[in-house]
């Protein structure tokens, strides 16, 4: 008896429906990033920071949801880069410019331009490297990822809003320094943890869930203090990730390096 052939049109339609969810989340991230600029323009810097944090949360979810339901696509990849450019490049630059960089005149605007350009270069390099074969290097990013970069340049404002001003801080110096250092980290090849392939033992899953719930609880009660502590922890992880990368590199000496494969790639 002849078996009925699958309806390819129905299968294709189901796949297209699955792709709507992650792409919709990505577009929501674009809207939130643009809304943060509107908050900053009206002087509502607390809401602007909260909007960026929501955008970062969505950025961490959309790709994982797409892989979970097998709905990855080239369109989704490009949309994700567009969202990162707006939410963690343009929006943080405008927020900091409206807060304090406008008082520095042309220098403040120059710092914004340099930072946004570095975010664009960082995203372009990430899109190129994401097409490479899987390896141990996938556990590390080359340079600071754009969401982390966006939060790092916002960290002086976050500290100001957190009430951790136990010492006198000259924000007109701290903010430009944060912009310059973050811009360099974005376009550098400094290895940072990607946290994409972390394997959690089943016995410790309950503790992980408890930690996540505790963290989000602190975000709800003490949002800017919790973000400030998170930024400090991330900065402490940078040297750890560097030495961990060097250790893995020594243990994988025989792997063919891709650094010189494409001499035309200036990124």
Domains and CATH numbers, the chain: 13-130+137-251 (1.20.120.1760)
Strands 191-193 and 140-142: antiparallel
Instruction: Identify how many contiguous H helices and E strands the chain contains and give both numbers.
Output: 9, 2
Q: Give the pLDDT score at 59.
A: 84
Q: How far apart are the first and last CA of the chain?
A: 59
Distance CA(168)–CA(172), nearest Å, equals: 12
Residue 256 has a CB neighbour count (10 Å cut-off) of 9
Backbone torsions φ then ψ of 167, nearest 5 degrees: -125, 155
DSSP characters for 160-171? HHHT---S---H
pLDDT band at 261 (very low <50, low <70, confident <90, very high): very low
pLDDT, tens digit, 9 for 90 and up, residues 33-44 = 999 999 999 999
pLDDT, tens digit, 9 for 90 and up, residues 125-173 = 887 876 666 676 777 888 899 999 999 999 999 999 988 767 788 889 9
Six token digits for residue 6:
């699958």
Q: Give the pLDDT score at 10.
A: 47
The percentage of the chain sitting over the pLDDT mark of 70, rounded to a whole number, equals 80
**CA 121 from centroid of its chain's CA atoms:** 14
Q: What is the largest CA-CA distance in the chain?
A: 84
- Burial (CB count within 10 angstroms: exposed 0-12, middle 13-18, buried 19+), residue 239: exposed
Q: Give the pLDDT score at 8.
A: 47
Mean pLDDT value across residues 58-76: 73
Contact at 8 Å (CB) between 24 and 56?
Answer: no
């Amino acid at each position: 008896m002849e078996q009925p052939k699958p309806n390819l049109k129905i299968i294709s339609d189901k796949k297209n429906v699955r792709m709507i969810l992650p792409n919709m989340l990505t577009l929501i991230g674009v809207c939130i990033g643009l809304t943060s600029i509107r908050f900053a323009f009206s002087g509502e810097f607390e809401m602007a920071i909260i909007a960026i944090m929501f955008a970062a949360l969505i950025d961490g979810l959309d790709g994982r949801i797409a892989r979970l339901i097998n709905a990855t696509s080239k369109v989704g990849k490009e949309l994700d880069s567009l969202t990162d450019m707006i939410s963690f490049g343009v929006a943080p630059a405008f927020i900091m410019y409206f807060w304090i960089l406008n008082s520095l005149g042309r220098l403040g605007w120059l710092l914004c331009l340099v930072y946004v350009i570095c975010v664009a270069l960082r995203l372009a390099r990430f899109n190129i490297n994401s097409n490479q074969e899987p390896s141990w290097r996938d556990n590390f990013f080359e340079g600071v990822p754009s969401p982390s970069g966006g939060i790092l340049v916002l960290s002086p404002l976050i500290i100001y809003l957190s009430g951790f001003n136990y010492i006198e801080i000259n924000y007109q110096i701290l903010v430009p320094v944060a912009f310059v250092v973050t811009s360099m980290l974005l376009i550098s090849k400094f290895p940072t943890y990607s946290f994409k392939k972390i394997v959690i033992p089943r016995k410790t899953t309950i503790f992980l869930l408890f930690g996540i719930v505790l963290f989000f609880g602190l975000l709800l009660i003490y949002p800017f203090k919790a973000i400030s502590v998170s930024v400090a922890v991330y900065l402490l992880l940078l040297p750890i990730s560097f030495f961990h990368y060097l250790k893995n590199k020594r243990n994988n000496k025989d792997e063919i390096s891709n650094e010189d494969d494409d001499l035309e790639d200036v990124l």
